Amino acid sequence: MGRALLVVDDDPDLNDLMTMILGEAGYQVVAATNGQEALAAVTRSMPALILLDMKMPVMGGAEFTQAFRERFDHLAPIVVVTAADDARRRAEEIGAEGWLGKPFNIGELLAKVQGYLR
Amino acid sequence: MEAYTATVLVVSIGLQLVAAVMALRLIRLSLGSGTAWILLASAMVLMASRRIVTMVGLVRPGVEQVVRGPVAETTALVVAILMVMGVGRIPAIFRQRDELIQQARALAEANRLQAVRLRTILDNLVDAVIVSDAQGMVALANPAARRLFGLPDNDTTAQPLGDFIGPYRIRNPDGSAVVYEELPLARALAGEVVIDADTIQHRPTDGRDIHARNAAAPIRDEAGRIVGAVAVSRDVTEQMEFERLKDQFVGVAAHELKTPVAIMKGYAQALMRTDQTMSADVTRRLAAIDRGADRIERIVEDLLMVSELGVRQLAMRVEPVDLAAIVGEALTTVSPRAPRHSLKLLTTMPAVVSGDRERLRQTMIRLLDNAVKFSPQGGDVEIAITVDAGEAVVSVKDHGVGIAEDRQARIFDRFYRAHTDTPYDCGGMGVGLYLAKKVVTQLGGRVGFESEPGRGSAFWFSLPVQAETQRGKGAAGRR
């Protein structure tokens, strides 16, 4: 069956990059450019993991997380991928399962994803 | 009694006449003749005689006493003669008296002018001036001080200094409340000369927080006793707000740089990973892009930290951290970018401290990068971890260019670059050691170094080691 990964980032280049890297690593990837699109995506099909940017137009990462938790509880873990000063603190603030600071190494990204899918 | 009065009257008239005659003679002698002069002289004589009458009025009781006796006439005569002889000096005495009065008036006028001048200066100073007496009662507050504290203009009642603390919520820049003894004026009353003591206070009139920069000094009397104190305060709220905005801007700009760096770095790495058919040349070029992105990232991190420190203390995530592990990670990071150096871990042992893992790793990387950077000819960089007397010490020793003695004192200053304008200027923003010191001291540790120009430098930092029993509780520590 192999549930997909959801990549949520408003920067098209970064979104493409993550989609490409994860795709090449063998994952099925669904992309969204803001929280609202991401909510629509999870409603259609629950991903195995959500890689979530924080600062996005329309609906940011924090608002998405709140809405997602209210409707779906913890059906999929959320990894915050942010350029914020303290990615870990931001992740803890919104109750996300993991964090990854921008810029990241590809190795770090793949390791994080693998860790949550185990 | 009437006889006596009559006698005095006669004497006084006689004196007037004598005075008039003598004055006229004097005037004639000195001025020559002429109606105008005579008129002038007469006027003067009249004035003089009026004074003489006054004088006689003053001595009258004495004269009466004397002429009452048995040899009244003789005595009156003697008195009259003595007074006539004295009359010659009377104009001089009066002149002297007038001069003294003039001088006193001039002095009073000068004092008044001086007071007006000082008052005008005080009233129009941008800076607030507050004077207190030895007991700490406010004796003077100029309009700027009234503005700064939001005092009513007509309030002239003495107010104890201590009364200012409560309603104004005076506090230190770090937010801690200022106690009475810490007030600049109170410190000055205790004999201290205070310079650049910053306070933040609430202004009740408009509810604003005012950032004041204060100076204060004791006022002493001639014997050196403190009889009061004066404080001068400047409202630097706008200036501080501007600084804050500037730091905030640097922070935002640095943050904005992170996403493009992530894109550069990510695509360079992605290309290197996936396209195995690429030539070694292309791979090397991609690796250079990746390294360039890494360097921008480090600069961005530095800028973010410097801007954060401009606004507040560094946010710390304190937990038990093994320095040996931190050093290992830092070596893994730095070794690949120092191919001409040999990074050697000479001694190591477990050293668990309360610290922020990421910040300490950065600090270690900064020290290693510096050691590599300032030994451009390559060579050994020696690292040692030791634990002694409850303190873990990490040292990094290079055999590089060293630091000139006259530049050593400022080595930890923000933006200070010891090798500016020397052949060893290897670039950088001058914040690495500043940030390293900030991190370590905020965690309760110390930093230091020994350096010999031309021979190399050894930088070290130390942190208190955690006792075994305290392990696991560190996360509850300071932020």
- Nearest residue of chain A to residue B315 (CA atoms): A86
pLDDT digits (tens, 9 = 90+) for B236-286: 999 988 888 888 888 888 888 898 999 999 999 988 887 677 788 888 888
Q: Which of A64-78, B144-158, B166-180 has the lowest average pLDDT?
A: B144-158
**A24 to chain B, minimum CA–CA distance in Å?**
8
Helix extents (H) in B68-194: 72-87, 90-124, 143-149, 165-168, 184-189
DSSP state of B181: G
With vertex at residue B19, the alpha carbon angle to CA B16 and CA B92, rounded to the nearest 5 degrees, is 120
Token duo for residue B387: 């634990």
- B44 HSE (CA, 13 A, CB side): 19
Backbone torsions φ then ψ of B418, nearest 5 degrees: -65, -25
Task: Give me the residue label for tokens 């992530």.
Answer: B262
* Interatomic CA distance for residues B162 and B179, integer angstroms: 9
For residue A89, the model assigns a pLDDT of: 84
pLDDT digits (tens, 9 = 90+) for A78-98: 999 998 877 888 898 898 999
pLDDT beyond 70 at A59: yes
Residues B466 and B474: beta-carbon distance below 8 Å:
yes
| Inter-chain residue contact A83 with B259, CB threshold 8 Å | yes
Q: Which of A20-34, B158-172, B320-334 has the lowest average pLDDT?
A: B158-172
| Inter-chain residue contact B258 with A102, CB threshold 8 Å | yes
pLDDT beyond 90 at B311: no
* Interatomic CA distance for residues A36 and A61, integer angstroms: 10
**A98 to chain B, minimum CA–CA distance in Å?**
16
**A77 to chain B, minimum CA–CA distance in Å?**
23
The minimal CB distance from A20 to the residues B263, B270, B315 is found for B270
* Interatomic CA distance for residues A39 and A44, integer angstroms: 9
pLDDT digits (tens, 9 = 90+) for B388-408: 889 999 999 999 999 999 989
Mean pLDDT of A38-66: 92
- Nearest residue of chain B to residue A107 (CA atoms): B269
Q: What is the SS3 string spanning B272-301? A: HHHCCCCCHHHHHHHHHHHHHHHHHHHHHH
Residues of chain B whose C-beta is under 8 A from some C-beta in A?
251, 255, 258-259, 261-267, 269-270, 273-274, 293, 297, 304, 308, 315, 317
Say which residues have a Cβ less than 8 Å from residue B12's Cβ, sequence separation at least 6: B52, B53, B56
| Inter-chain residue contact A103 with B304, CB threshold 8 Å | no
Backbone torsions φ then ψ of A36, nearest 5 degrees: -65, -45
pLDDT beyond 60 at B27: no
Residues A83 and B262: beta-carbon distance below 8 Å:
yes
- Nearest residue of chain A to residue B301 (CA atoms): A85
pLDDT digits (tens, 9 = 90+) for B366-384: 999 999 999 988 889 999 9
- Ranked by mean pLDDT, the top range of A37-51, B20-34, B79-93, B132-146 is A37-51
ipTM comes to: 0.87
Torsion angle (degrees, nearest 10) of CA A27, A33, A36, A42: -10
Pairs from B21-29 (Cβ < 8 Å, separation ≥ 24): B22/B87, B22/B88, B23/B48, B23/B91
* Interatomic CA distance for residues B434 and B416, integer angstroms: 8
Residues in chain B: 479
Picking from B252, B257, B264, B269 by the largest number of A CB atoms within 10 A of its own CB, the best residue to mutate is B269
* Interatomic CA distance for residues B41 and B55, integer angstroms: 20
pLDDT beyond 50 at B470: no
Residue A68: pLDDT band by 50, 70, 90 thresholds? very high
Q: Is the dihedral of CA B135, B137, B141, B146 positive or negative?
A: positive
With vertex at residue B189, the alpha carbon angle to CA B188 and CA B192, rounded to the nearest 5 degrees, is 35
Q: Kind and range of the H or E element at A82?
A: strand A78-82
Q: Is the dihedral of CA B337, B338, B342, B347 positive or negative?
A: negative
Residue percentage of chain A with pLDDT more than 70: 98
Residue A67: pLDDT band by 50, 70, 90 thresholds? very high
Mean pLDDT of A58-71: 92
pLDDT beyond 90 at B120: yes
From chain B, pick out residues whose CB is under 8 angstroms from the CB of A24.
270, 273-274
- Measured N-to-C along each axis, helices A87-94 and A61-72 cross at an angle, to the nearest 10 degrees, of 40
Residue B27: name the closest of B37, B19, B35, B36 by CA: B37
* Interatomic CA distance for residues B394 and B409, integer angstroms: 21
The minimal CB distance from B273 to the residues A85, A88, A106 is found for A106
Mean pLDDT of chain B: 83
Q: b vs e for A50-79, b when ≥16 Cβ sit within 10 Å of the residue's Cβ?
A: bbbbbebeebbbbbbbebbeeeeeeebebb
For residue B438, the model assigns a pLDDT of: 94
pLDDT digits (tens, 9 = 90+) for B42-75: 666 666 666 666 665 666 566 556 556 555 666 6
Residues A83 and A102: beta-carbon distance below 8 Å:
yes
For residue A1, the model assigns a pLDDT of: 40
Phi-psi map region of B379: left, alpha, beta (phi>0 left; psi -120 to 50 alpha):
left
Residue B421: pLDDT band by 50, 70, 90 thresholds? confident
Backbone torsions φ then ψ of B415, nearest 5 degrees: 70, 5
Name residue B286's amino acid.
L
Strands B159-160 and B341-347: unpaired
For residue B393, the model assigns a pLDDT of: 95
pLDDT beyond 70 at B142: yes
| Inter-chain residue contact B259 with A11, CB threshold 8 Å | yes
Residue A21: name the closest of B266, B77, B64 by CA: B266
Residue percentage of chain B with pLDDT more than 70: 78
Q: For chain A, state the CA radius of gyration.
A: 13
Residues in chain A: 118
Mean pLDDT of chain A: 90
- Nearest residue of chain A to residue B291 (CA atoms): A105
B158 compared with B353, residue with greater pLDDT: B353
* Interatomic CA distance for residues B146 and B168, integer angstroms: 13
Give the residues across from A32 on adjacent strands: A8
Q: Which of A16-25, A57-66, B143-152, B289-298 has the lowest average pLDDT?
A: B143-152
Mean pLDDT of B147-162: 73
